[in-house]
Amino acid sequence: MQLCGHRGVAALAPENTLAGLRTAYRLGLEWVEIDVQLSRDDEVVVIHDNTVNRCSNGRGKVSELEWPELARLDAGGWFDAGFYGEAIPRLSDYLGLAHALGIKVNIELKIHAGDDPRRLCQHVHAVIAQLSLPENTLLFSSFEPACLAHLQQLAPAIARGLLVERLPHDWHAQLLRLGCVALHCNHKYLTHTQARAVNAAGFLLHCYTVNDKARMHILADWGVDMIFTDDPQGYQHQP
């Protein structure tokens, strides 16, 4: 079972920042997960919430702020004074550093009320195409099936994972329709029987967000392929 740093490594560095990516590298992680959305001027930025309020010294909706405004914000001081001055990164900057460090990236496409999935997907695809990154170093995921459908057309060679809280009754049909290789679910609602069914159907099973080491071992024994964690320190699994 692989570990994927959630929002970088959110327990150890400010989430969705280059500092978090560098921390993941120092910990030897192969994968990190980040969230992306669009600024008002269509820059793909790495941030989770629909506002900058929680994770920066700014205020306002990401979709209503332009990139120069976002770039000036401090996205590290809220976490710890040692990270003061850390910026909100663009996807292009994040992927460039990840490639240099040899870290693979799960890009979660965030869709908030009023957002246009097609527009976000087009701009994400443009960033990736410009960087010419190896397709096997990326994974798309989203709670919004429309995003995965658009990406299936725009970047069919990049793997996709459907995000859900609980497994829907038609999970198998949805994965087939969207051409997904993986199902991403909340570990709290996953059963052993469900885990076996997903694996038996030939799909990868990824679980979020797991910070308890004992639970990690249980999920590994169930056949979960990857878990997203805020703190990967101290976990060792013997297959």
**Choice among 6, 123, 184, 206 that is catalytic:** 6
Q: Sort strands 31-38 and 44-46 into parallel, antiparallel or unpaired.
A: antiparallel
Task: Say whether 150 is catalytic.
Answer: no
Q: What is the DSSP letter of 63?
A: G
Tokens of 138: 């990326």
Task: Say whether 125 is catalytic.
Answer: no
Cα separation, 16 vs 180, whole angstroms: 24
Give, to the nearest 10 degrees, the angle between helix 171-178 and helix 145-154: 30
Are 86 and 14 within 8 A, CB to CB? yes
Residue the block writes with tokens 């069914």: 197
CB neighbour list of residue 27: distance below 8 Å, 6 or more residues apart: 5, 9, 12, 232, 233
**Choice among 48, 172, 217, 237 that is catalytic:** 48
**What are the residue numbers of the active site?**
6, 48
